Chains A and B, each alone.
Chain A
Amino acid sequence: MNDPTNNSRAIRSWLGHGALAACVLSSLALAGDKSWLIKAHKIHTAAGDTIEDGFLQVTDGRITAVAGVSMGGGGDMLEVAAVTPGLIDLSVRIDLGFDSVEQSTETPASLDVENGIDLWDPRFERELKSGVTTVVVSPPDRAVIGGWSLALKTGGPPTLEKRRVAPRVALRAAIGDEPSDGNRPAFGQPDSFYNRRPTTRMGVEWVLRKSFYDALAARKDAALATDETRAFEEVLAGKAPLFIAASTTQDIRTACFLQREFKLPRLIIDAAAEAWKDPQMVVQSGAAVVLPPFSFGGRGGVDGAFHAWNTAALLHERGLTIALSGHNSIERGDRLAVQPGLAMHGGLPFDAALAAVTINPARMAGIDGRVGSIATGKDADLVLWDGRPFEPSSRIVGVLLDGELIVDPRTQK
């Protein structure tokens, strides 16, 4: 291990690139009214088919035609090896850290994360340039309920109105060690009421169940209704999914038990590293699953969860809807664009791997009307590759967001 104290110097600033960054900034400010004709050896649509030697027409920010022959429309021509839809990360984890954790209550279910994110955060651009065009941002898992997650584009004009794909796509919850971890005092027992609750896994589960019971009680007696019970009611009624972070088998089991107890129509389990240990349980709960980044050693997940390489393949074979995530890694080898490749290393077929970063997460977040596949009328969010997509040795040579060329394949030599 090399000296970690030198690390701060590794991200030490470098002046010469100011001009480049300014170029990116100005290109973002342009309106997406340009037309593009994209020719690709393979167009992976994620809508069920792959078009060989096909063409794609982009006009006014939308995909206007997809065909096996040139449609002869206007616009500059871009020629690449492969095209996929813009990637979607449901678990991108770009937040303000503790500034995004509400401390006044454990269940701030009426809060919206959109009031606690920074659209100028450079990490959004990191995602965009590495092919991720839509993300779901959730509050950090330091409270049992974090608040409402938000789906937004990673680029474009920096206003919520322009970037938001959909508000309140899911109610974020967390089980496991993280929500209670920070609640214990630095030393001694958590035996004073000045400590925040809960302090154990049991307590976390209790807080969750109590919230649902309160919402059920409010159904019978309107006088008991609060903003919070109304938020939980949306989840109970299936208007929004519960998006729950659970990594180890025991926590995934807790999530499945909650689903069964309250008959939650829509459950998404995030960071479900150990879903491979009891996939039947997850199947029965009807949950969709978001897998954390793969690790060559298996370990390293939240709560020491062990993430087997065939997890994605195993869950896919059993008919579960899965999505992959990159957790906003700074390391290119761990970003979302290579996660489908790593899942393929563990046996997942290409089409399923493609779906797991495009149409599946779009459906889970209920935004598949706009993004998640290459189809006429959808947002022109596209990733252009110089080789087989998702290989670590392939390059993302082009990114389009709402029809605007963010990374230009003509300058990527």
Chain B
Amino acid sequence: MQTTPSHFFARSVLATSFALLTGGLALGADKLVIEAGRVITRAGHEIKDGVIVIENGRITKVGKQGEVDKPWDATVIGGPSFVAFPGFVEAQTSRGLDRPNENIDVAPFLDIRDSIDPINFAYEDYLRHGVTTLNVQQGGNCVIGGRGMIVRPVGMTVDEMAVRPDYALKLSASPKTGKSAATQSMALRRAFDELKKRLEKQVQDKKDGKARDKREAMFQGRELEGEKAKGRAMDGKGWRVDGLELVPRGELDEKDLQLLELVEGKRDAFVWCAAAMDVRKALDLAKQNGFLERTTLVLAGDCWKAADVVAASGRPAILVPPMLHVELDPLTGKEVETSVPKAFAEKGVKFAIASEGFGPTTPSQQVLWYQAALAVGQGLPRDKAIAAITTVPAEILGLADRVGSLEAGKDGNVLLLDGEPLSIRTHVEFVIIEGKTAYDRSKDIRAKHLLEGQEPRGTSPAGVDGASDAKPGSKQDALKKDEAAEKKAAEEQRKADEKKHYESSEERG
């Protein structure tokens, strides 16, 4: 494949930016002291002139300046102008994947780790906006989707990113493309009915002395040793298959194994509901098949009408943008607006706010803190909005002891902001992930491009033209032209700086 010049430059910029973003991670010291004018440890808890000590990636001390012993050999960052805040937690997203949806209806044998693209812009964007932990799940366009994974938005490989691999299953109570509400429900029911039948058959085969499943497993190269060679009685709250202890778990195929874990309550489930009518279906399905206690509902705006049902179920929810639900009244033809987070808060539902929008994605979606700020502007108390992007998603993901707030013993995931959290005038200046600087705004060339209109070096038209003129094979020439382009850019930069200087001195004069 031939690389076009523009691709080449885009790639070099990408590589540079990642070197900048991840370089810090590799070089960071084991001990880090963060000083800030304000340390907000969790919603509603604040320390003036605070200090956070992070050792080996974990927070060891949080307290007031002067009251906390700082290790003498630690790196110190921050200052009185900063506000330290826990890293944001994204409860669910399908951004940053190769393709977020699988065509096969029931595909729990798939693992999102094969779809995650570590250098996707999405992760860089998450970092830029202060998200330090995110649960990557496949999209909602499925019946039963693949397994998700909790990651941190740093690292060049999926393994480096992993916080918790092999995590929850994604299900959809709403019709996927090409299905109606009825066929979707049927497909969901059938998935579990067939699982039950297959398990029963496997038990019967074992009783009959048939070794077909063992032969099949060996043919597929699956291990049948250790734990996998053992059978275990089924442990299901919804339904049970007697005699499953006769079947070694290794003999179950990949699809059945994941679904069985769901039914046995050993795996979390995220169930997508696009409309209020789907909420009841989602809860019924989870209850009948024994995974209600491991279920988190992922809700679109319309579902506010089912807030009572969600509240009664006691299950947590994830609200996806838009935070303001708008629909047409059929009688008057007027638009009716409802604040979705407020509606759920009033019913006492525990919810997280997510940033990935439903329907056509608008420019302001995809930024987690902005969605939380919008929720405040629609009547959600500020502390609840902050909790909805920190402590609540941490609880939902089973990471309450690791992320979501700044306390001793937790992961050293800290944001340094230049102002009040959730304010539009505030920027994320530093992101510390597990004690290491993962993001520094002063080195973020793409933020400079976005915020200051400063195009990254090497992507200027001069640079691109210089490279495109090069004959294939004449590397030397291309290099010279690159040098010439760089010189020219530097000269232009110098002129611009001079001009700026001149202008500012004029202002002073």
Interface residues of A (CB under 8 A from B): 1-7, 9-15, 17-18, 20-22, 24-25, 120, 122-123, 125-126, 129, 276-277, 293-298, 300, 308-311, 314, 329-334, 338, 341-342, 344-347, 390-395
Contact = CB atoms under 8 A, between A and B. Distances in A.
Given A125-B334, A393-B374, A12 B424 contact: no
B424 A3 contact: no
B307 to A, nearest CB: 13
Given A129-B337, A333-B322, A297 B332 contact: no
21 contacts: A1-B94, A3-B174, A5-B177, A7-B359, A17-B336, A18-B332, A21-B332, A21-B336, A25-B332, A122-B328, A123-B335, A126-B335, A296-B125, A296-B367, A298-B449, A329-B362, A333-B323, A338-B364, A338-B424, A392-B370, A392-B422
A4 B335 CA distance: 21
Contacts of B320: 2
Nearest to A297: B363
B140 A392 contact: no
B424 A345 contact: yes
A7 B360 contact: yes
A392 B377 contact: yes
Which residue of B275, B324, B378, B450 has the most chain A CB atoms within 10 A of its CB atom? B450
B135 interface: no
A300 B274 CA distance: 26
Contacts of A314: 453
B363 A295 contact: yes
Interface string B160-201: 000000000000101111000000000000000000000000
Nearest to A393: B376
Interface stretch (B218-226, B242-250, B298-306): B298-306
B453 to A, nearest CB: 4
B425 interface: yes
Given A10-B359, A18-B329, A333-B322, A125 B335 contact: yes
A332 B329 contact: no
Contacts of A276: 453
A142 B185 CA distance: 44
B424 A392 contact: yes
Contacts of B378: 332, 395
B322 A15 contact: no
Contact of A334 (B305, B331, B363): B363
Contacts of A10: 274-275, 300-302, 325, 327, 358-359
A143 B476 CA distance: 50
Given A2-B358, A393-B382, A14 B305 contact: yes
A294 B424 contact: no
Contacts of B275: 6, 9-10, 12
A216 B229 CA distance: 92
A347 B450 CA distance: 12
Given A6-B275, A298-B450, 16 more contacts: A2-B358, A7-B359, A11-B328, A13-B328, A14-B336, A21-B336, A122-B328, A125-B334, A125-B335, A298-B449, A300-B363, A314-B453, A331-B321, A345-B427, A391-B373, A391-B377
A56 B366 CA distance: 40
B331 to A, nearest CB: 5
A122 to B, nearest CB: 5
B274 A342 contact: no
Interface string B241-274: 0000000000000000000000000000000101
A3 B100 CA distance: 10
B302 A1 contact: no
A30 B450 CA distance: 47
B213 to A, nearest CB: 35
Contacts of A277: 453
A332 B374 contact: yes
Given A2-B139, A331-B365, A332-B322, A394 B453 contact: no
Given A345-B425, A394-B377, A4 B364 contact: no
Nearest to B367: A296
B322 A331 contact: yes
A67 B328 CA distance: 41
B209 interface: no
Nearest to A386: B377
Interface of B: 94, 100-101, 125, 129, 139-141, 172, 174-177, 272, 274-275, 300-302, 305, 320-337, 356-367, 370-371, 373-374, 376-379, 382, 385, 422-425, 427, 449-453
Contacts of B172: 3
Contact of B362 (A15, A24, A331, A344): A331
Contacts of B382: 393
Contact of A310 (B125, B302, B451): B451
Contact of A14 (B139, B274, B329): B329
Contact of A390 (B139, B360, B371, B424): B424
Contact of B425 (A4, A310, A344): A344
B43 to A, nearest CB: 14
Contacts of B362: 329, 331, 333-334
A277 B423 CA distance: 28
Contacts of A126: 326, 335, 337
A11 B276 CA distance: 12
Nearest to A296: B367
Contacts of A311: 453
A25 B332 CA distance: 9
A313 B247 CA distance: 69
Which residue of A11, A20, A293 has the most chain B CB atoms within 10 A of its CB atom? A11
A12 B359 CA distance: 13
A123 B333 CA distance: 11
A3 B139 contact: yes
A404 B118 CA distance: 55
A10 B275 CA distance: 7
**Closest 10 A-B residue pairs measured CB to CB?**
A295-B363, A333-B364, A308-B453, A13-B330, A6-B274, A393-B376, A341-B424, A392-B373, A21-B334, A2-B140
B425 A393 contact: no
Nearest to B376: A393
B316 to A, nearest CB: 18
Nearest to B372: A393
Contacts of B325: 10
Contacts of B449: 298, 308
Contact of A122 (B100, B335, B379, B422): B335
A300 B360 CA distance: 13
Nearest to A342: B424
Given A300-B363, A344-B424, A333 B331 contact: no
Which residue of A1, A330, A347, A391 has the most chain B CB atoms within 10 A of its CB atom? A1
Contact of A393 (B141, B274, B366, B422): B422
A15 B331 CA distance: 7
A296 B427 CA distance: 13
A115 B230 CA distance: 79
